[in-house]
Amino acid sequence: MPGRQLIVYDKRRSAIDQQQPYWFDAWGIDRNDPGQVVWRVEIRAGRDALTKLLAKKAIGRPCEAVEQHITPFLISAVEQIRYTQPTGHQANITRIPSHPLWHTVENALRDIPVMQAAALPEAKALGYLKERHLDMSLKLAFGNLINRLVLEGLTDADISDNFEHHARKRALDYLGTLDGERLDAKLQKARDRAEVFLTPS
């Protein structure tokens, strides 16, 4: 419908595919148990819909205002857009019963508090993401180094037996190509990208 979207998908599968293990802590379930299913229902309000909703209250769109007035919008959305469970041939769509999942969604929206604590604390989510980035950056760095050594024609035995030496030499060679200003610029760019994960010293 104009100004709103409803999306239903398997969030457990999505968390595995997108390597987001922190969700399983939030849900309190075993990620390796295929019998555990988490259906995510996203109700999306477009900019125009939010503007129209909050204009009636003669207010802008700060987060507090959205949280205060969004519940009626969400309830209206799931009433006007339903996930149904057809039983045989039914010509009149209004008579097709809603899927049990939809009853759960409707009940959850009626009981939703205006403000609630996040199921997954931000610090914990950032911790997981930081560890993932650390792991990926290390694998990329040394994976690229191995590719470089192979391209240089070094033998497997030489790479394996002298890997630390080769890593140190290439690091020093690369550092020698950077003057102080270029190195500072690269360091600043790296810190800007990692800012969300860094705590003030």
Same domain for 164 and 106: no
Domain boundary among 111, 138, 171: 111
- Average pLDDT by stretches of 10, the chain with 201 residues: 80 91 88 89 80 61 67 84 78 81 88 63 79 92 96 96 95 89 91 81 44
Q: In this structure, is residue 180 part of a structural domain? A: yes
Q: In this structure, is residue 117 part of a structural domain? A: no
pLDDT digits (tens, 9 = 90+) for 151-184: 999 999 999 999 999 999 999 999 899 888 889 9
How far is Cα 201 from Cα 189, in angstroms, rounded to an integer? Answer: 18
What pLDDT is stored for residue 201 in this prediction? 44
Same domain for 98 and 9: yes
pLDDT digits (tens, 9 = 90+) for 132-155: 889 999 999 999 999 999 999 999
Same domain for 167 and 128: yes
Only one residue has tokens 């503007």, namely: 51
Q: How far lies 122's CA from each of 126, 139, 176, 188, in Å?
A: 6, 26, 40, 25
- Cross-strand pairs, 9: 40
Domain boundary among 111, 136, 164: 111
Same domain for 94 and 22: yes
What pLDDT is stored for residue 141 in this prediction? 95
Same domain for 140 and 42: no
How far is Cα 86 from Cα 30, in angstroms, rounded to an integer? Answer: 32
Same domain for 167 and 107: no
How far is Cα 32 from Cα 36, in angstroms, rounded to an integer? Answer: 9
Same domain for 134 and 102: no
Which residues neighbour 53 within 8 Å (Cβ) at sequence distance 6 or greater? 45, 69, 70, 73
How many domains is the chain built from? Answer: 2
Residue 9, domain extent? 4-111
Taking a C-beta distance cutoff of 8 angstroms, is the pair 40, 15 a contact? no
How far is Cα 200 from Cα 80, in angstroms, rounded to an integer? Answer: 48
Same domain for 75 and 145: no
Same domain for 86 and 130: no
Supply the DSSP symbol for 42: E
How far is Cα 26 from Cα 49, in angstroms, rounded to an integer? Answer: 31
What pLDDT is stored for residue 185 in this prediction? 92
Diameter of the chain measured on Cα atoms? 76
Helix (H, G, I), strand (E, B) or coil at 57: coil
Same domain for 88 and 185: no
The gap between the terminal CA atoms of the chain, to the nearest Å, is 49
What pLDDT is stored for residue 76 in this prediction? 84
How far is Cα 158 from Cα 109, in angstroms, rounded to an integer? Answer: 63
Same domain for 66 and 154: no
